[in-house]
Amino acid sequence: MVSPTSCGSKQSGPGRTAFVFAVGWQHGLVAHFDLCVIGTGSANTILNRRFAKHKVALVESGRFGGTCLNVGCIPTKMFVYPADLAETPGPAAGLGVDLELQGVRWEAIRDRIFGRIDPISEKGKVWREKSDNITLISEEAHFVGPRALDVGPAGTVTADRFVIGAGSRPVIPDLPGLGSVRYLTSDTVMRLDRLPASMIIVGGGYVAAEFAHVFHAYGTAVTVEADQTASR
Ligand SMILES: Cc1cc2nc3c(=O)[nH]c(=O)nc-3n(C[C@H](O)[C@H](O)[C@H](O)COP(=O)(O)OP(=O)(O)OC[C@H]3O[C@@H](n4cnc5c(N)ncnc54)[C@H](O)[C@@H]3O)c2cc1C
């Protein structure tokens, strides 16, 4: 990772090739790369052996690994399985098997999930940091000119080629009164401290539907608000 306090040079170890980027990069100079990849979600998977001889900048402003790993497909599916288990007594009774749900331990479910996911993200980050040809820049990137990217305190990156894998992010709808209440998004709801007694889910897409199933199964009273404005 390049930070404002590091000097923009790669560490070298026994048997590893070191190369040094523009000295003083953090003081306004520009570092040039063969390839610059923005985002560590699916874009991170592009960087395989074919790019081993390329000088690559990998820029990530959030959690390493992107949406699917950290706040998307993977954790949601890990919440869905316990939700399906919690709802099993209903259909099981119709088959002549009487089960009883004794409780749902939200903290245990949440901690198991992120206890597995967070180390994967961290390992991926460390692996890239140790790479000889890739410089991981943990900053938000903004294009400031043709093939020129401002990466905050880390300086400016130019590159022959760019891959933009910046994904998407939750949009806060313009709903009257929303600003006066505490609300969560799909990025934050999975790390709640406690299971809420009730919840209004604004939206009618698959993400909303999935969270409605999960929280309902865990015992939260869920209302889904999915009119055309909300689900846009
Ligand atoms: C709750 C939820 C459940 C989902 N479930 C499924 C599912 O079951 N199946 C499925 O196929 N899809 C699912 N998705 C969608 C899937 O997660 C996304 O389509 C996919 O992760 C997008 O990948 P990406 O690489 O395009 O972007 P991302 O994975 O979002 O990666 C983009 C990265 O770029 C970084 N970034 C953005 N802007 C900048 C910047 N200016 N500078 C530096 N870095 C930047 C971000 O921090 C992020 O890490 C789900 C999404 C959500 C939110």
In this prediction the pTM is: 0.87
How large is the average pLDDT for residues 108-112? 98
Here the tokens at position 200 are 């209004």
Q: Would the CA dihedral through 211, 212, 214, 218 be positive or negative?
A: positive
CATH superfamily of 1-168: FAD/NAD(P)-binding domain (3.50.50.60)
* CB contact at 8 A, 70 and 117: yes
What is the pLDDT confidence band of residue 23, given thresholds at 50, 70 and 90? very low
pLDDT in tens, 199-214: 999 999 999 999 999 9
pLDDT in tens, 159-214: 999 999 999 999 998 989 999 999 999 999 999 999 999 999 999 999 999 999 99
CATH superfamily of 170-232: FAD/NAD(P)-binding domain (3.50.50.60)
Residue 56 three-state SS = strand
- Check pocket membership of 59 for ligand 1, CB cut-off 6 A: yes
Angle at 174 between CA 72 and CA 203, to 5 degrees: 40
| Identical fold, 1-168 and 170-232 | yes
Domain ranges in the chain are 1-168, 170-232
Identify which of 68, 80, 140, 142 to mutate to test ligand 1's pocket (most ligand atoms within 8 A of the CB). Answer: 68
What is the pLDDT confidence band of residue 28, given thresholds at 50, 70 and 90? low
